[in-house]
Amino acid sequence: MEKVTTLDANLSVVEKDPDSGELLSRIREDAPGAFDEFVTRFGGRIYAFGMKFCGEREDAKDVLQDTLLQAYRSLRTLEHAEAMTSWLYRVAANACLMKRRKGKFEPEREISLEELLPGPGKDAPMQIPDPAALPHDDAVRAETKARVQKAIGDLPPAYRIVLVMRDMEQFSTQEVADALSLEISAVKMRLHRARLMLRKTLEESYAADRRADGRP
């Protein structure tokens, strides 16, 4: 069975930004155009990150504005330019979590694995379709996207932020741990639970559709 190794690839995506030093110097000097360049380089990524976590444009817009302005002020004291991208995501992750804290229930305990164990063995058909085998049908793909986004949105925020950073933004486990000030074991635990909860939600969602269609 083929294993997926992502750690090295992730590090190269996130950390190697050869122009960070030059941009950081210009930010420190408050040079003309430095903020424009900063927004051009990171604005889209942070907005997308906010959308993935919050699922709503207005929330993503707030996350972006809070993140960029706070980051721009604070970046002047950042010592290591190579850490700029990871540092920025740390600010963005905090902005995301603060955004949802007002309206969403924060779990008081970690969800146990036993709660996510599948039921006793039975011959049920595979419910979740393989994304690689989806038909090239815009309606089907839009429906699938909405279903997955809703399942992500239903996750507890503390789990969702880890899932977004690991599986959507492709950060390494270590980078997520650094950004969220968590132990690596806690990142792995939350990621696993997030994935299991998401799988369960999707499976139940597809199973409900099958029953509604009169299929087993």
Partner 1 sequence: MSGGHVHGGPECIALFAKLSEYLDGELELGACADVEGHLAECERCQEFLESLRRAVAHVASLSAPELPENLKRDILSAYARARGSS
Compute the least distance from the CB of residue 61 to partner 1, in Å: 6
Q: For residues 113 and 208, which CB has a smaller minimum distance to partner 1 in the complex?
A: 113
Choosing from 158, 163, 177, 179, the residue that interacts with partner 1 (CB under 8 A) is 163
Choosing from 18, 77, 102, 120, the residue that interacts with partner 1 (CB under 8 A) is 120
Contacts (CB under 8 A) with partner 1, residues 98-117: 113, 117
198 near partner 1 (CB under 8 A): yes
- What phi and psi values does residue 6 have, to the nearest 5 degrees? -120, -10
Sign of CA dihedral 42, 46, 47, 48: positive
161 near partner 1 (CB under 8 A): no
Tell me, rounded to whole angstroms, the distance of Cα 203 from its chain centroid: 21
Choosing from 23, 49, 90, 156, the residue that interacts with partner 1 (CB under 8 A) is 49
- Three-state secondary structure string covering the chain: CCCCCCHHHHHHHHHCCCCHHHHHHHHHCCCCCHHHHHHHHHHHHHHHHHHHHHCCHHHHHHHHHHHHHHHHHHHHHCCCHHHHHHHHHHHHHHHHHHHHHCCCCCCCCCCCHHHHCCCCCCCCCCCCCCHHHCCCCHHHHHHHHHHHHHHHHCCCHHHHHHHHHHHHCCCCHHHHHHHHCCCHHHHHHHHHHHHHHHHHHHHHHHHHHHHHCCCC
Candidate segments 12-20, 21-29, 74-82, 197-205, binder of partner 1 by CB under 8 A: 197-205
129 near partner 1 (CB under 8 A): yes
With CB under 8 A as the rule, give the number of residues binding partner 1: 55
144 near partner 1 (CB under 8 A): yes
Q: For residues 79 and 138, which CB has a smaller minimum distance to partner 1 in the complex?
A: 138
By the criterion CB under 8 A, which residues form the site for partner 1? 1, 3-7, 35-36, 39-40, 43-44, 47-49, 51-52, 57, 61, 64-65, 68-69, 72, 113, 117-118, 120-121, 126-132, 144-145, 148-149, 152, 163, 167-168, 170, 173, 188, 191-192, 195-196, 198-199, 202-203
